[in-house]
Amino acid sequence: MAKPTLHCLLITIFFVITVISISSPFSFASQPFKSSRAPRFPKKFSHQTRSLQQQYRYDTRYFSQRLDHFSFADHPSFSQRYLINTEHWVGPNRFGPIFLYCGNEGDIEWFADNSGFVWELAPRFGAMVLFPEHRYYGESVPYGSQEEAYKNATTLSYLTAEQALADFAVLITDLKRNLSAEACPVVLFGGSYGGMLAAWMRLKYPHIAIGALASSAPILQFEDIVPKETFYNIVSNDFKRESTSCFIAIKESWGELLSVGLKENGLIELTKTFRLCRDLKKTEDLADWLDSAYSYLAMVDYPYPSEFMMPLPGYPIREVCKKVDSGPEGISILERIFQGISVYYNYTGKVDCFELDDDPHGLDGWNWQACTEMVMPMSSDRDASMYPPYDYNYSSFEEECWRDFKVIPRPQWITTQFGGHDIKSVLKLFGSNIIFSNGLLDPWSGGSVLQNVSETIVALVTEEGAHHIDLRPSTSEDPDWLKEQRATEIKLIEGWLSSYYQEKKATFNM
């Protein structure tokens, strides 16, 4: 990097720090790193190659969709990809069920590969399996190309949860007609944002789906429904429960990072300590890289080795903390953090150096959704959180959204459209057949439904579970609590289906 620019950056950072430290002399900085963006759901990283062999068998098909389901304007249509498997389906004459996974914000093949539970259930229920892709992701992009579709706020404006749900509804209706399967019951599945879609679809389209398994679906992470500190407190507690000293080391590391970054040649020192591929341009980039690793670690703190986001050992946070806690006498705090974080970023031992820009901001589908409907306010608590303290600031969030997309968020739209406030009594009085499953290690569990609402709207909560672990394929290492959770889910789904068939019989006999 050219010298003058580096110099300017240093001065800028120094200026910011000076101002901050004047206002709060004891804590190193009040809000040194956090951007106003909420953390993301797990996603496929660009460097992650799919397993050479496709895990599950399916056909890939395309269906022509309206760009805007909610107007009669003459827009071009787009092609929605969907994956389908009918090999176990008992067919329309026997009312074979249809298992529909609500595609999330990404390539649908990745979600299909990582939702083994749905595939394992299909033979048992004689079900068809469908994985429709979410619009604007993977291959289901309107306007002919990703570049055109993501061009500006006008072209992106059809990227909403409501449009995605309408896509699913139109697709399944058309497919049923093609297969003369109108009377076949549809059961929805989804994890994470896909789980939110599954729950919302059951509520909005009760005539299209008889029930939904919504795994790790934070449908309450909006407005002030849950405390803003919930997410980061859960991540922090996941570390603290493994080791208090690990929690403290991480909590203290931000100040250390900041002060090293400010030293002469400090950015070069950090580049070396963290073995980065490129010269660090600002300390904040490194902080973001650490920050997202901790959040993702909490999401995938599974009890057995997994490769959902990264190849990782079982209970990876335990392994990270072992490294953070162990280092030889005299080793610096940042060196210990580096050892710990390597468990996440370099478990295979095959990484030569670390690239920080794996999760770039900017024109990205989820960032757009977060800047329009999916406004999830989050703060970092001064004491309970191991992250730098941060108070959610809607104004600065709005400014970022305007800067990136020329759009103004609508933070109250999701709760207006789908509800969320006083969810227990609302759903008790009208809803049915939804399972909200959550693992309490998962930071998103804090924004989900953790209490039973009624006989048929059920919360399945596991102490030791992480992000939609129940949707993952079964393994020989599955702990008993996970087997029990899945068994309960199967029983509930069986119940939905048998009520449906009983009703049908009654209707047919009339």
Ligand X SMILES: *[C@@H]1O[C@H](CO)[C@@H](O)[C@H](O)[C@H]1NC(C)=O
Yes or no: say if 480 and 168 are a contact pair by the CB < 8 Å rule: no
- Bridge partners of 83, per DSSP, are 60, 131
Q: Would residue 391 show up in a list of annotated catalytic residues for this protein?
A: no
The least distance separating ligand X from the CB of residue 4, rounded to whole angstroms, comes to: 27
Give CA–CA dist 401/36, Å, rounded: 10
Selected from 175, 199, 220, 341, the binder of ligand X by CB under 6 A is 175
Site string for ligand X, 228-267 (x = CB under 6 A): ----------------------------------------
The least distance separating ligand X from the CB of residue 273, rounded to whole angstroms, comes to: 10
Site string for ligand X, 396-435 (x = CB under 6 A): x--x------------------------------------
Phi, psi of 188 (to 5 degrees): -95, 145
Give CA–CA dist 168/186, Å, rounded: 11
Residue tagged 């990136």 (tokens) = 404
- Bridge partners of 211, per DSSP, are 187
Mapped onto helix, strand or coil, the DSSP state of residue 423 is helix
Binding segment (CB under 6 A) for ligand X, from list 49-57, 145-153, 235-243, 414-422:
145-153
Q: What residue type is assigned to position 17 of the chain?
A: I
23 binds ligand X (CB under 6 A): no
Give CA–CA dist 424/217, Å, rounded: 15
The least distance separating ligand X from the CB of residue 76, rounded to whole angstroms, comes to: 12
Q: Would residue 383 show up in a list of annotated catalytic residues for this protein?
A: no
Site string for ligand X, 266-295 (x = CB under 6 A): ---------x--------------------
The least distance separating ligand X from the CB of residue 201, rounded to whole angstroms, comes to: 17
Name the catalytic one among 36, 115, 140, 192. 192
Binding segment (CB under 6 A) for ligand X, from list 39-47, 183-191, 284-292, 348-356:
348-356
The least distance separating ligand X from the CB of residue 7, rounded to whole angstroms, comes to: 26
Number of residues that bind ligand X (CB under 6 A): 30
Residue 355 contacts by C-beta under 8 Å, 6 or more apart in sequence? Answer: 47, 276, 277, 278
Binding segment (CB under 6 A) for ligand X, from list 89-97, 158-166, 170-178, 376-384:
170-178
Selected from 48, 55, 243, 393, the binder of ligand X by CB under 6 A is 393
Selected from 146, 157, 292, 488, the binder of ligand X by CB under 6 A is 488
Give CA–CA dist 245/191, Å, rounded: 33
83 binds ligand X (CB under 6 A): no
Q: Which residue is nearest to ligand X (CB)?
A: 349
76 binds ligand X (CB under 6 A): no
Nearest by Cα to 494 from 223, 258, 213, 224: 213
Yes or no: say if 282 and 357 are a contact pair by the CB < 8 Å rule: no
Nearest by Cα to 368 from 76, 154, 79, 165: 154
Selected from 354, 387, 418, 436, the binder of ligand X by CB under 6 A is 354
Site string for ligand X, 455-484 (x = CB under 6 A): ---xxxx-----------------------
Yes or no: say if 298 and 443 are a contact pair by the CB < 8 Å rule: yes
Q: What residue type is assigned to position 74 of the chain?
A: D
Residue tagged 């229920």 (tokens) = 125
State in Å, rounded, how far the first CA of the chain is from the last one: 79
Shorter beta-carbon distance to ligand X: residue 5 or 77: 77
440 binds ligand X (CB under 6 A): no
Q: Would residue 69 show up in a list of annotated catalytic residues for this protein?
A: no
79 binds ligand X (CB under 6 A): no
Give CA–CA dist 232/278, Å, rounded: 29
Phi, psi of 494 (to 5 degrees): -55, -40
Give CA–CA dist 16/33, Å, rounded: 11
What is the secondary structure of 132-194 as a DSSP string?
Answer: EPPTTSTT--STTSHHHHTSSHHHHTT-SHHHHHHHHHHHHHHHHHHTT-TTS-EEEEEETHH
Shorter beta-carbon distance to ligand X: residue 5 or 71: 71
The least distance separating ligand X from the CB of residue 163, rounded to whole angstroms, comes to: 17
Residue 193 contacts by C-beta under 8 Å, 6 or more apart in sequence? Answer: 41, 104, 105, 217, 374
Selected from 23, 53, 178, 507, the binder of ligand X by CB under 6 A is 178
Name the catalytic one among 442, 445, 468, 470. 442
- As annotated, the active-site residues are 192, 442, 467
Binding site for ligand X (CB under 6 A): 61, 63, 151-155, 171, 174-175, 178, 275, 342, 346, 349, 351-354, 393, 395-396, 399, 451-452, 458-461, 488
